[in-house]
A = this chain, B = another copy of it.
């Protein structure tokens, strides 16, 4: 084929089996929605936190939000790399997210830590539960999700110790 004549043929995403692409895409879709929701909740608490430790928590929340946004982008781009267009719209996040909602009010600093810790742990646990099955279909996506879990579990620890529980 000469380089000047671009054929009608199309270029296919990785993974030969379209079903596998869709299955992996669906796995990534649910992780994406949870991560976006975490980032919105993190901002909500960033604006609402009060108490003696409020300023430190306010700053820490922005670091977490940056990490969730970055992870969400990596997850979504992995999905679309596999030919699956993920849905990160507000309507999908509002209905599809499995993260427990927060209330709109001032929240005490310790409550922010407690509530976030629970939510981050829940998301991490859900992703961890899928690692082995995902790895069976696509080692690359598994590696992406291992990084997601590693980051979330570290955040969970950094939050948990602020509750005075055994590190």
Chain A interface (Cβ within 8 Å of chain B)? 2-4, 6, 10-14, 36-37, 40-41, 43-44, 47-56, 58, 60, 72-73, 76-81, 83, 85-95, 97, 101-115, 117-118, 121, 124-125, 128, 131-132, 135, 139-140, 142-144, 146-147, 149-150, 153-154, 156-167
Contact = CB atoms under 8 A, between A and B. Distances in A.
Given A53-B53, A111-B4, A150-B143, A106 B167 contact: yes
A124 B87 CA distance: 26
21 contacts: A3-B108, A4-B111, A13-B153, A13-B160, A14-B124, A36-B90, A43-B73, A49-B167, A50-B164, A54-B164, A55-B56, A55-B161, A81-B153, A93-B93, A94-B95, A106-B166, A106-B167, A108-B164, A131-B139, A135-B139, A140-B150
B90 A52 contact: no
> Which secondary structure dominates chain A's binding surface?
helix
A61 to B, nearest CB: 11
Given A44-B87, A81-B157, 12 more contacts: A2-B103, A3-B115, A6-B110, A6-B163, A36-B40, A48-B85, A49-B167, A50-B166, A52-B162, A55-B60, A55-B162, A56-B56
